[in-house]
Amino acid sequence: MNLHEYQGKDLFSNYNLPVSKRKVVFNANDVIEACNEIGGSKWVVKAQVHAGGRGKGGGIKIANSSEEVRVYADNILGMNLITHQTGPKGKCVQRLLIEEASDIAREMYAGIVLDRSSGKFVFMVSTEGGVEIEKVAAKTPEKIVKEWIEPNENLKTNQARKLAFTLELTGTQVKHAVKTFLSLWKVFKEYDCSLIEINPLVLTKSDEVIALDSKINFDDNALFRHQDIQGMCDLSEE
Ligand code: ADP
Ligand code: MG
């Protein structure tokens, strides 16, 4: 089972992972109120479908006023969004995430997967975020750095620090990233995930580290242990 970005971010937020101020809407009439609740003066309108590549497909727009948010919401809600992950038929957008726009200094990547060939978990990071990680893996695999975690162990602080240094972070940035990685591992483990990806994990101009996207897949065989996750299932997407 998969989650929408906004559901993944709610889960992240419960584990104190840094995410943007945000609100999900199902109706364009609700976006102005959402902007007021979120605050600020710049927002991102994000189509919620179970597929990546939404930005390139026209499903993500940055708006400089709540009126502009409204226009984008009208355009995106109900649209058939086609990305490299939806297949040629595309997906109908029925939910939108309105989110505070971040001042991005750098886009990075962080992810955890179960590596069945080694029987271990792999925590991966890359300085090359915001792009298709499959392409990075194919063209410049040296830019993806990995730390392995034994099935009965946890991500260790020194591993998290190594990963943060790989991302060329310094000072307080390292502290923020280490905390984020340890929390991410906790979510992965406690929810029996098979994959979590944050692409992009951004460094902001004020040195914050924020999860700007979320992708979470669960091990269906363990779903019976997670009633809260079952309740988030969007059957129209599965
Ligand atoms: P997808 O991976 O489906 O294209 P993302 O959530 O990763 O969707 O967004 C695509 C791009 O849009 C990001 O790489 C980032 O550059 C930009 N973006 C997304 N959310 C925000 C935000 N809250 N503030 C600023 N830029 C954003
Ligand atoms: Mg993304």
Tell me the pLDDT of the chain averaged across its residues.
97
Q: Is the pLDDT of residue 214 over 90?
A: yes
Instruction: Quote the ligand 2 centre to 52 CA distance (angstroms).
Output: 6
Q: Is the pLDDT of residue 8 over 90?
A: yes
pLDDT digits (tens, 9 = 90+) for 62-88: 999 999 999 999 999 999 999 999 999
Nearest protein Cα to ligand 1, atom 10: 55
Q: What is the mean pLDDT of residues 183-205?
A: 98
Per DSSP, the residues of 108-148 read EEEEEEEETTTTEEEEEEES--SS-HHHHHHH-GGGEEEEE
Q: For residues 114 and 158, give the distance between their C-alpha atoms in angstroms, rounded to a whole number.
A: 20
Instruction: Quote the ligand 1 centre to 105 CA distance (angstroms).
Output: 13
User: Is 15 annotated in the active site?
Assistant: no
Ligand lying nearest the CA atom of residue 50: 1
Q: What is the mean pLDDT of residues 220-227?
A: 96
Instruction: Quote the ligand 2 centre to 213 CA distance (angstroms).
Output: 5
Within 6 Å (CB) of ligand 1, which residues are found? 20, 44, 46, 52-55, 60, 99, 101-102, 104, 107, 130, 199-200, 212-213
> To test ligand 1's pocket by mutation, which of 6, 60, 199 has the most ligand atoms within 8 angstroms of CB?
60
How many CA within 13 A on the CB side of residue 58? 13
Binning pLDDT at 50, 70 and 90, where does residue 222 land? Answer: very high
pLDDT digits (tens, 9 = 90+) for 90-119: 999 999 999 999 999 999 999 999 999 999
pLDDT of residue 238: 82
* 101 dihedral zone (left: phi>0; alpha: psi -120 to 50; beta): beta
Buried b / exposed e over 118-144, threshold 16 CB at 10 Å, is eeebebbbbbbbbeebeebeeeeeeeb
Ligand lying nearest the CA atom of residue 212: 1
pLDDT of residue 121: 98
Binning pLDDT at 50, 70 and 90, where does residue 151 land? Answer: very high
Query: Are the beta carbons of 133 and 197 closer than 8 angstroms?
Result: yes
Q: What is the position in ligand 1's atom list of the atom closest to the CA of 5?
A: 6
Q: What is the position in ligand 1's atom list of the atom closest to the CA of 51?
A: 3
Q: What is the position in ligand 1's atom list of the atom closest to the CA of 104?
A: 25
Nearest protein Cα to ligand 1, atom 7: 213
**Candidate list 6, 99, 100, 109, residue with the active-site label:** 109
Q: What is the position in ligand 1's atom list of the atom closest to the CA of 199?
A: 7
pLDDT digits (tens, 9 = 90+) for 15-63: 999 999 999 999 999 999 999 999 999 999 999 999 999 999 999 999 9
Percentage above 70 pLDDT, the chain: 100
Q: What is the mean pLDDT of residues 173-183?
A: 98
